[in-house]
Chains A and B, each alone.
Chain A
Amino acid sequence: MTPTPAPSPVTVGDVASLVRSKNAGPFWQTLDVFLPDDEAYRRVAEAPGLDAATVAAAYRVDPAGVRIFHLPHIRVVKISFPRPTTQGGVHDRDMHAGQQHVPLARLPLAP
């Protein structure tokens, strides 16, 4: 009998209806997690592992610069931090920071 592989952990992207990212001016980027219902919102907003330190590690930025906002009226968790590289600089890989939501979407939620 083949052993069943361990189920992969549920991620932010799994429970969100939309995860998006964008510049907030040339020196900041901001990530928005839209949740489809109150239960999904609570799961992400109250996830013990989804704090400034975890986000900072996923993006290799200073945790002191990470700001997390909880917006229950629109079921959004919003995360903003200074861009690791200034927009358009020689090492910038994403001019509009439009694809920077993916590392956040891949973060696991505690079961």
Chain B
Amino acid sequence: MPETHVIVPAGMLGAGFTAEAIDRGIALGGHAIAIDGGSTDSGPYYLGAAAPKMPAEAIAADLRLMLVKGAAAGIPVIVGSAGTSGTDVGVDWVAGLVADIAAEEGLRLRVARIYSEQSRETILELLAAGRISPLPPADELSADTVARCDHIVGLMGAEPIIAALDAGADVVIGGRATDTAVIAAVPLRQGRPAGPSWHAAKTAECGGQCTTNPRGGGVLVTIDDDGFTVDPLEPITAATPTSVAAHMIYENADPHLMREPSGVLDVTDAAYAALDDRRVRVTGSRFTPLPPTVKLEGSGLIGYQSLAIAGIKDPEVLADIDVWSTTLRDFVAAKALDVLGLTEADLDVQVRCYGWNAVLGDLDTDAAPPREVGAVLVATAADQATATKVVKLANPYLLHMPLPAMDHLPSFAFLSSPAEVPRGPLYEFLLQHVVAVDAPDHLFRTEIEEVGR
């Protein structure tokens, strides 16, 4: 029975992995090395600002290992969601690192760049043509929301990646792609069935997270006509039926179904069995083709933030921390509106008391006084200078704010001098919508060039 082997060295490009893991995957017959380069998980900044989360050095170290070993074995290297958010800038940045490494290592590589960024004009045309619909819990898209996006990407499926491999690419640098597409493209291109191909891809997309030791690096997935097998690439970890089945539910609102541009994966009837003490066999995964859709992600600037941090250890203040933080917040907001001539709509002031209820807010039911609190005063305004001015105005009050019944001014423990920290721009995710397309590779653009020597 024909088999396709995909080496997934880690859950994210830049996370790091060992040369031995890649060697083992190649020795086991790996047909490609595939890795995800990003997601929305780190928040709206990376898409809104088109900036990567990981340093170039970390990305380059992982790329170098994959490129050198992939070239020696004659197998392609596939990266998706380049530069964290998969913007065109991110694709060009990672492709530039590939070109540098190829030159340094004396490799001649055919590199495909697949762009997935969408202009606001394109999205407005699709909206006018009635091709965009909301996903829960979003409302119908408006032209105003499109206008607020600084960057918009569409999530590619396997089709543009398969086309790039068909065109002879040794390296594919994809813009925003589903986490699974970079992996599933390899078995699908070799004619393996869609159910096992997509389910294997979902299982392996976070590397060793589908194993008993999430620190355990990468995995090899082997897809055939009846199912797939998971084989961890590092000796320190093992795949078990439970560890593999449990990963299907990770970061997935629905544990049975996963939508891809070309259809939906259904694992309701999947069966997980141990082949031995480290490998797991999965059968019964189904994929139903559906009219193609491309999911959109968009992020836009909504303001700038500055902050300051004060440590509180005084038990008297900690016993009434709710009164203290509310008094401080309301006083600073009123002071800023007065002195800076702002209106309520121009300004947001929050005091987040880490150590008390900063994480859960009003959902926190723990009534015990905290042992220590880090009070973070955050101001959000239309520009950085204004946000910083608000925190400067707040400085003496964050330092000395007494409880209402106190007859002295306490002083709290500031983190730094200056106390105010300009935190930078604040972005917001604005799109939770899909485009109905005529074909799954619609909206994506591929350029191929030779790099290195």
Enumerate chain A interface residues (CB-CB to B < 8 A).
Answer: 22-28, 30, 32, 34, 58-60, 65, 67, 69, 71, 73-74, 76, 78, 80, 82, 86-91, 93-96, 99-100, 102-103, 106
Contact = CB atoms under 8 A, between A and B. Distances in A.
B389 interface: no
Interface of B: 40-45, 135-138, 242, 245-246, 249-256, 272, 297, 302-303, 348, 350, 352, 358-363, 365, 380, 426-429, 432
A34 B246 contact: yes
B432 A27 contact: yes
A22 B250 contact: yes
A41 B172 CA distance: 44
A60 B427 CA distance: 25
A90 B246 contact: no
A63 B137 CA distance: 13
A78 B248 CA distance: 12
Pick the 9 closest A-B CB pairs, nearest first.
A88-B43, A82-B137, A24-B253, A80-B253, A26-B429, A88-B44, A74-B245, A28-B253, A27-B432
Given A78-B255, A80-B254, A87 B360 contact: no
Contacts of B363: 58-60, 103
25 contacts: A22-B250, A24-B253, A25-B251, A26-B40, A27-B138, A30-B249, A30-B252, A34-B246, A71-B249, A73-B272, A74-B245, A74-B246, A78-B249, A80-B253, A82-B136, A87-B44, A87-B429, A88-B43, A88-B44, A88-B45, A90-B426, A91-B350, A93-B361, A95-B43, A99-B360
Contact of A25 (B40, B45, B359): B40
Contacts of A103: 360, 363, 365
Contacts of A90: 302-303, 348, 380, 426, 428
A90 B348 CA distance: 8
A26 B44 contact: yes
B297 to A, nearest CB: 8
A95 B42 contact: yes
Contact of A67 (B254, B297, B350): B254
B302 A25 contact: no
A80 to B, nearest CB: 4
A65 B136 contact: yes
B360 A106 contact: no
Q: Which of A25, A65, A95, A96 neighbours the largest number of chain B CB atoms within 10 Å of its CB?
A: A25
B224 to A, nearest CB: 23
B429 A27 contact: yes
Q: Which of B136, B255, B297, B432 neighbours the largest number of chain A CB atoms within 10 Å of its CB?
A: B255
Q: Which of B362, B363, B380 neighbours the largest number of chain A CB atoms within 10 Å of its CB?
A: B363
Contacts of A27: 135, 137-138, 429, 432
A39 B19 CA distance: 44
Nearest to B256: A69
Contacts of B138: 27
Given A76-B246, A78-B255, A82-B136, A93 B303 contact: no
B359 A30 contact: no
B246 A88 contact: no
A6 B242 CA distance: 38
Given A60-B362, A76-B249, 11 more contacts: A22-B251, A23-B41, A23-B251, A24-B253, A27-B138, A32-B246, A73-B272, A74-B246, A78-B249, A90-B380, A99-B360
B365 A106 contact: yes
Contacts of A93: 352, 358-361
A99 B380 CA distance: 24
A5 B428 CA distance: 48
A29 B205 CA distance: 19
